[in-house]
Chains A and B, each alone.
Chain A
């Protein structure tokens, strides 16, 4: 049924650290690699080596430039995949019940056998998490690697989504955001993790950790007192230097 569960036992999701994402797109590539033979296989590519390639991806990495006062702009790499919303509008608009949210872990999935390919769910999603597969005639989306995270033939440390296990910077974290004592919940709380477009009232589960404030002073990156003194810092300076500083500072 496309009625949403009132509560889910877990709220599995991702915490994505925008401070350390280096924008290498490895998460998108490994997502594609795993999922093209997974639950929603295949992630069809059309004309992949031709002049007009197009294809289904569950994870895409956008890059933004953020202008800051008294500073140069900074580049922020921004991976985006399904946020497995608590109040997922893609689920409730589905006319067939193909789109559903699991009660046990909160993962939002599409049943490819009952999807009619009306695309309404992709209109209802603010985040662009759903992509239509032209060749299969059904909607596809991030499964949070449901066929990997519960896969007992894999080593326990591999039972995380493909995007998380592949991230070389450790910018992606996976866990139960419904449990305040989980590693991901604690990480999100400590770093001021936020939801995307809260005003759309979808209650997304995934959290984004904001880039840390830029380090502008020498001391911020551990410069010694000697180096800092050269930059107008009087700590450890001699009596004459202090006097000259006072005169010149008038």
Chain B
């Protein structure tokens, strides 16, 4: 599948924003958030900015962005529509949370409701994003359990890495707990991605050139001549291929930058302290961001669509 920049940025940025909001709300629920209005508003502001920039970016690949509001109407059948509705609903507790901190409201019950709603609606939104891809039977690399698992864990992971930086920046007591959350999700994310790539080696669609044409399976039927000499929309959008050797290298880079280096840097931050810990967590954020962008690029680039069976592929 063609890796569109707007969609890669949308899924990673909004994922990180929701992840940050989830951890912020969770630590708030557990009463582990420092009573620091500026800190809270900065964290909520970053989460809001990431989510909003991502959602706006997602409209950039539309043919008619001005009609985007229409996408809220078909939530009964469409995961894309559900995602839009969930994203808008998730803004409500986000704004409420900001208001609570801005006004310095100390009502524990109110905070619990708002924090709980933030967590649930953020998770639902990320789940809907994942289901847009996981529900497509035409793409074996997406139509499996790893898609939802991956989107959820990578959202929590990037959010936790971000909160780790903010917590270390202000040297708060809860920074060790936040670091632990980041290390845990980084570890789970790293393993999940390795298992996913192993799964991709053997996973194949139930469709092949035999079922696509009804003329005979792989080896028996081959494309003799395409319908046209030049490329077309289908081949550009669905027929994107990445060379095996490049994919292998990019997987290593994604694993190192997105997961391994942030783990090492956060462990260093926990033990070293002082200005070094701030620097370490800042670099962890930077590497993790590049790594997760690579991971998402591969998520699209490595996915094969069954329509390629009509354009020369024997299996999809």
Q: Which A residues have a C-beta under 8 Å from some C-beta of B?
A: 1-4, 18, 25, 28, 52-57, 60-67, 75-76, 78, 80, 89, 91-98, 114-120, 122-128, 131-134, 136-139, 194, 196-201, 208, 210-211
Knowing A116-B68, A138-B63 touch, does A67 contact B77 (C-beta < 8 A)? Answer: no
Complex contacts, B224 vs chain A, CB 8 Å: 63-65, 75
Compute how far the CA of A202 lies from the CA of B161 in the bound complex, rounded to whole angstroms: 42
Q: Are A63 and B225 in contact (CB-based, < 8 A)?
A: yes
Residues in chain A near residue B137, CB distance under 8 A = 89, 126, 200-201
Tell me whether B1 and A94 are in contact (CB under 8 A): no
* Residues 34-87 of B at the A interface (beta carbon under 8 Å): 61-65, 67-68, 70-74, 76-81, 84
Contact check, A92 vs B78: say whether CB atoms are below 8 A apart.
yes
Asked if residues B213 and A64 are in contact (CB atoms below 8 Å), the reply is: yes
Task: Give A17 to B222 CA distance when docked, in angstroms.
Answer: 19
A80-B310 in contact (CB<8A): yes
**Total A-B Cβ pairs within 8 A:** 188
Q: How far is the CB of B207 from chain A (nearest CB, A)?
A: 5
- Which of chain A's residues have a CB closer than 8 A to the CB of B81? 95-96
**Among residues 144 to 175 in chain B, which have CB atoms less than 8 Å away from a CB atom of chain A?**
none
Q: Is the CB of A61 within 8 A of B207?
A: no
B220 at the interface (CB under 8 A from A): yes
Q: Looking across the interface, which residue of chain A has its beta carbon closest to that of B58?
A: A118
Q: In the complex the two chains form, what is the Cα distance from A134 to B224 in whole Å?
A: 29
Residues of chain A contacted by B231 (CB below 8 angstroms): 54
Question: Given known contacts A67-B220, A128-B234, what 12 new A-B pairs fall within 8 Å (CB)?
Answer: A60-B232, A61-B227, A62-B311, A64-B215, A89-B138, A95-B71, A96-B67, A97-B70, A123-B237, A125-B307, A128-B238, A131-B233
Pick 6 A–B contacts, CB within 8 A, sort by A.
A60-B228, A62-B225, A78-B213, A96-B73, A128-B234, A201-B137
* Contact status of A94 and B206, CB under 8 A, knowing A54-B231, A128-B310: no
Residues in chain A near residue B215, CB distance under 8 A: 18, 64, 66, 76, 78, 210-211
A76-B215, A126-B307 known; A62-B78 Cβ under 8 A: no
B residues near A18, Cβ cutoff 8 Å: 215
Q: What's the nearest-Cβ distance from chain A to residue B239, in Å? A: 10
In Å, the complex CA distance between A197 and B305 comes to 13
Give B12 Cβ to nearest chain A Cβ, in Å.
19
Q: B230 interface residue, CB < 8 Å from A?
A: yes
CB atoms of A93 and B78 under 8 A apart: yes
Chain A hits for B80, CB < 8 A: 93, 95, 118, 120
Whether B214 pairs with A196 at a CB distance below 8 angstroms is yes
A18, A122, A208, most chain B CB atoms within 10 A = A122
The one of A2, A114, A133, A136 in contact with B78, judged by C-beta atoms closer than 8 angstroms, is A2
Specify which of B63, B76, B211 lies most central, judged by the most chain A CB atoms within 10 Å of its CB: B63
Question: In the complex, A91 Cα to B76 Cα: how many Å?
Answer: 12
B280 interfacial by beta-carbon distance below 8 Å: no
Closest chain A residue to B209, Cβ basis: A64
| B237 adjacent to A95 (CB under 8 Å) | no
- Contact: A96 with B77, CB < 8 Å? no
Q: Please, what's the 1-or-0 string for B74-118, where 1 marks a CB less than 8 Å from any CB in chain A?
A: 101111110010000000000000000000000000000000000
Interface pairs A-B: 3 shortest CB-CB: A117-B63, A137-B63, A60-B227
Any A CB within 8 A of the CB of B136: yes
With A64-B223, A199-B207: A52-B230 Cβ-Cβ less than 8 Å: yes
Q: Which residue of B lies closest to A192 (CB)?
A: B214
| Complexed CA–CA distance, A80 and B310 (Å) | 9
Cβ distance B78 to chain A, nearest Cβ, rounded Å? 5
Q: Is the CB of A196 within 8 A of B223?
A: no
Closest to A96 in B: B70
Contact A95-B211, Cβ < 8 Å, known A125-B307, A200-B138: no
Give Cα A134 to B63, complex, Å.
7
Q: Please, which residues of chain B bring their CB within 8 A of the CB of A54?
A: 230-233
